Amino acid sequence: MSATNSDQSVTDDRVARIASSIRVIPDFPKPGIMFQDITTMLLDPVAFKDTIDLFVERYREKDISVVAGVEARGFIFGPPIALALGAKFVPIRKPNKLPGAVISEEYSLEYGTDKMEMHVGAVQTGERVLIIDDLIATGGTLAAAIKLLERVGANVVECACVIELADLKGRDHLGDKPVFVLVSST
């Protein structure tokens, strides 16, 4: 079903407001990096609500039973989406934060490695999963989250982020998994 002109223009207005509510902070966390700060969008209740609505509209008919959010900014967007879809929310966390038995996935950083963890038993084989983070850069974090979920037999339907740093080509590093973003930044 294609959007009518007026549907598309409503969506474009919402995305424009969201994009303009995001603040860029130069030289964070290091010199030369332009950091996309979504906290200013969270201060605009209309922009924040529109962000959640745009994701919910896309996924509501897709039988998603799990929304997995990557620590920590994925915890801000994932739960409201999960609640609206009637899905479980599963936090994917840094090491040693989750108290129960976990499975871990190591992934590469620019220097060294890090690990992400998920509780054993949180996701069942065959569940349809949406992975949420605020931003996709190199795709390293999302690729690791996809691996973690596939190891328990889940079906990762899509990854969804508010922002994409297009020049870093993160979407090419996710195998066959599609990524949906609201705002693409260069």
* 42 near another protein, rule: CB under 8 A: yes
Given 14, 73, 93, 171, which residue is catalytic?
Answer: 73
Pair 127, 155: CB distance under 8 Å = yes
**Which parts of 2-31 interact with another protein (CB under 8 A)?**
23, 25, 28-29
Which of 160, 112, 116, 110 has the alpha carbon at shortest distance from 136?
A: 160
Q: In sequence order, what DSSP letters do the residues of 61-100 get, joined into one string? A: TTT--EEEEETTTHHHHHHHHHHHHT-EEEEEB-TT-S-S
- Angle ∠(65,73,56) on CA atoms, nearest 5: 40
Q: Which of 17, 115, 119, 128 binds another protein (CB under 8 A)?
A: 119
Contacts of 180 (CB under 8 A, 6+ apart): 55, 58, 158, 159, 160, 161
Q: Can 105 be counted among the known catalytic residues?
A: no
- From residue 86 to residue 105, the character string flagging contacts with another protein as x (rule: CB under 8 A) and all else as - is xxxxxx-x--xxxxx-----
Between residues 6 and 96, which has the closer beta carbon with respect to another protein?
A: 96
Q: Which of 31, 32, 45, 112 binds another protein (CB under 8 A)?
A: 45
* 75 near another protein, rule: CB under 8 A: yes
149 φψ region: left (φ > 0), alpha (ψ -120 to 50), beta (else): alpha
Q: Footprint of another protein on this chain (CB under 8 A)?
A: 23, 25, 28-29, 35, 37, 39, 42-45, 48-49, 52, 71-72, 75-77, 79-80, 82-83, 86-91, 93, 96-100, 119, 122
> Residues with catalytic annotation?
73, 110
